[in-house]
Amino acid sequence: MSYLISADHSLVMFVDIQEKLIPVIHNHEQVITKSHILLKAAASLNIPMLVSEQYTKGLGLTVPMLRSEISKDKIMEKTSFSCYADQAMKERIHQINRKQVIICGIETHICVLQTALHLKEAGFVPFIVSNAVSSRYPHDYKMGLKRMQKAGCMLATLEMVLFEWLKDSSHPDFKNITKLIK
């Protein structure tokens, strides 16, 4: 297994970045901004994406900045905290057939953690984008990251993901991707 993130082996999951929950999340603007950059970069590089929405009746839809730029067929509603525990999402993940799952979203210690741990148990390599996940309380965020890392999930930052996808400054999308982070 390579420890480097590969665009050819990646699936990006946006976990529950929803309108009614996001305002109470610590550093919520950063989560939205970094997730939006990740979405744009993944789209530019033709990397498959999935968006989960937890109980939309109570928590609302995915925030407009993300929802407006992703096709509806990639957005899936769930009631289980883990995306992988949802049968329809599990089937879609297996259909996409990418072993590296890049995860951003909320909350770090609940849905992100349970998704990552289930994926790890199932033989996937979860990469948690540490500056694109959060929780209501900073301690929950920190403990969620620690627990996932201890379980063998990989931690990364947005820029780590982007530059590992590109591999080289001669990549045809290098200028477009680097413009996203300036």
- Using an 8 Å Cβ cutoff, are 148 and 128 in contact? yes
Of residues 34, 86, 104, 111, which has the active-site annotation?
111
What is the side-by-side order of every strand in the sheet holding 49-54? 75-78, 49-54, 10-15, 100-106, 125-134, 154-156
In sequence order, the 6+-apart residues with CB closer than 8 A to the CB of 81 are 54, 110, 111, 114, 115
Query: Which residues make beta-bridge pairs with 14?
Result: 51, 104
Active site residue 78: yes
The residue whose two tokens read 């799952």 is: 101
Q: Which amino acids are annotated catalytic?
A: 16, 78, 111
